[in-house]
């Protein structure tokens, strides 16, 4: 997808790490083909049967691609199909992904039309299996259906992803900031967010002079 220069990939300023001449390709894993190995074939086969039988959306329309990398399974899902896929993964007895352990945001500013990604980490306690869902949207239309109705524990995770990346989860019961103040401008974990020079105001907080601070010695 590109090339990283230096140890930490800075695009401005002088590289003081001593690794300024380092060039590293940025690689994304490609789509996998069956057989995937392990329980991945059974999982995707069961999901395909569940989706095709439900009639809401087909497996081919819902799952844009399947990626197997480093022993982990990721299903790239079309955003309009996310609620249907989520319910199938939770409710089908042969799948039973009861828990969404987290929602992560990712920003790829150079990936035109797919700049923002939401990544859902799912766990099946019944079958002791894991799967990852990934939904990508353009920066200019960064909306994804909320999965809080399916997995209520995703509530605060979606709020954090909105707060840090600006992805709007439609249908969320209260999509408000969770880490930054309500009036904070921008979304701090986006790659285009400015680094440094941001004035910080601690409302209602005071720092006492050194001779009045608590001593722990």
Residue 15 lies in a domain: no
The pLDDT assigned to 10 comes to 58
Q: Answer whether residue 65 is part of any domain.
A: yes
Domain membership of residue 20 (yes or no) is: no
Confidence band of 116 (pLDDT split at 50, 70, 90): very high
Domain-located, residue 56:
yes
What is the number of domains present in the chain? 1
- pLDDT of res. 168: 98
Residue 1 lies in a domain: no
d(CA 143, CA 198): 27
Is residue 123 over pLDDT 90?
Answer: yes
Domain that holds residue 70: 29-189
Q: What is the pLDDT, as a whole number, of residue 200?
A: 60
CATH classification at residue 33: 3.30.460.80
Among 55-64, 87-96, 168-177, 189-198, the range scoring the smallest mean pLDDT is 189-198
Average confidence (pLDDT) over 93-115? 95
> Could you tell me if residue 197 is inside a domain?
no
Is 92 a domain residue? yes
Q: Is residue 163 part of a domain?
A: yes
The least confident of 13-22, 51-60, 107-116, 194-203 is 194-203
pTM: 0.83
């Amino acid at each position: 997808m590109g090339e990283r220069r230096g140890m930490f990939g800075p695009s401005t300023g002088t590289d003081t790490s001593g690794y300024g001449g380092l060039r590293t390709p940025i690689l994304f894993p490609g789509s996998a083909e069956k057989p995937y190995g392990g329980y991945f074939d059974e999982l995707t086969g069961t999901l395909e049967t569940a989706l095709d039988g439900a009639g809401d959306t087909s497996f081919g329309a819902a799952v844009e691609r399947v990626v197997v990398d480093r022993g982990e399974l990721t299903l790239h899902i079309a955003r309009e199909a996310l609620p249907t896929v989520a319910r199938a993964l939770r409710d089908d007895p042969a799948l039973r992904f009861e828990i969404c352990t987290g929602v992560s945001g990712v920003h790829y500013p150079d990936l035109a039309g797919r700049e923002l990604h939401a990544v859902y980490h799912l766990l099946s306690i019944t079958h002791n299996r894991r799967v990852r869902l990934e939904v990508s949207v353009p920066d200019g239309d960064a909306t994804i259906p909320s999965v809080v109705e399916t997995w209520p524990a995703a509530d605060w995770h979606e709020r954090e992803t909105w707060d840090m990346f600006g992805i709007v989860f439609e249908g969320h019961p209260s999509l408000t900031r969770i880490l930054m103040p309500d009036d904070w401008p921008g979304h701090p974990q986006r790659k285009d967010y400015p680094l440094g020079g941001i004035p910080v105001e601690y409302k209602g907080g005071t720092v006492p002079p050194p001779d009045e601070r608590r001593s722990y010695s």
